[in-house]
Amino acid sequence: MSGGALAGKPARGISEVILVVQDVERSKRFYRDVVGLIGERLDSSKFVWFWAGAPGHSQRIGITTGPLSFGAEHVRGPQHFAFGTERSRIPALKAGLEAHGLEVLGPVEFSGWNAESIYFSDPDGNRVEFCGFGPA
């Protein structure tokens, strides 16, 4: 494909990831209190939003009981996604997650990326990753 509306770089990155969950309140507490995300809109019992990084400057995570709009009623979890972080934070993140009673896999080293990851599941079985980049 060449030229047209999609020529060049039409995307600036992922705008949002939306998870379909059983219980929005339970997931809101998990992503706020365990994962440590900052809420954008937490006032609805049907759909809440978190920033995946710095508020106003990063992607968002949406949490809903579904169905999603715009023809995506069939979309259901579990999903996998990763939060980027500094590699030096991986041991403390793992310890913090385990202190909340979570089973954490890793760290798993990715030498080609100079990265190390840990993996855990949210209350709905979505697989969440912290991928730490940088020197060991």
Amino acid 99: pLDDT? 95
Q: How confident is the model at residue 80 (pLDDT cuts 50, 70, 90)?
A: confident
Does 72 have pLDDT greater than 60?
A: no
Q: Report DSSP state, residue 113.
A: G
Domains in the chain, please, with CATH? 14-67 (3.10.180.10), 77-136 (3.10.180.10)
Distance CA 3, CA 49 (A): 35
Longest dimension (CA), the chain: 53
User: Are the C-beta atoms of residues 116 and 136 closer than 8 Å to each other?
Assistant: yes
Distance CA 86, CA 130 (A): 9
